[in-house]
Amino acid sequence: MKGSRITQGMTSLPRVFVAAGAFVLALSPTNAFPQEAPVERSAPPQSGKAAPDFALNDWNGKRQTLFAFRGRPVALFFFCGCESCYATAREWATALPSVNTVKKGNPRPQTIITYTEMSAKSARSLARSASLSDKDAVFLLDSDAKIARDRYHAEPCPRVFVLDARGVLRYTNEHEEDAPRVASASLLVAKTVSELRAVSP
């Protein structure tokens, strides 16, 4: 009789292990937290329509989304660190005091600079050499350039996208006179400042 009970207990052991295994899988990181959808190549952003949202880490490791800046006009730059990007960054640093001068009660425009295929250390070095710091902008790292390439078609650089407070795209430098690596940094920045003022309350 005792032997029969022992045999029955051993027979039930695999079922216990299967149940325990299923429980562990259910608690694994893959199933415990929702995973971000992979970035797929989409149509280029269109003026007059909502700019594509995205999520990237800033150079401090904090996850940032474009959507979080709704309510403020945004100047979204994509830089790779080439001389044209560097010159534009320097010119933008010079223009920031004017950009940030707004009527009392109105939201200050937000500068977002996205560095593609660059480490946090390299991004900090480039920003610092252009006289830009955390107080001037949010600096994001698009390490594999998927947001720049597949979501915004921001090649070649430098590219800038001006969004109104509702997140609608109002301007990007894709015209003959302001094309990347054709227009001077001063012309590109002057155009960006003008477009930001046009969408500011």
Mean pLDDT, 10 residues at a time, the chain of 201 residues: 45 42 41 54 91 97 97 97 96 95 88 96 96 96 96 96 98 95 96 94 73
Q: What is the pLDDT of residue 32?
A: 42
pTM exceeding the 0.85 threshold for the entire prediction: no
R_g over Cα of the chain: 25
Strands 74-79 and 169-172 turn out to be: unpaired
H or E segment and range at residue 193: helix 185-199
Amino acid 104: pLDDT: 83
Q: Which residues contact 81 (CB under 8 A, 6 or more apart)?
A: 115, 118, 122, 126
pLDDT for the residue numbered 39: 67
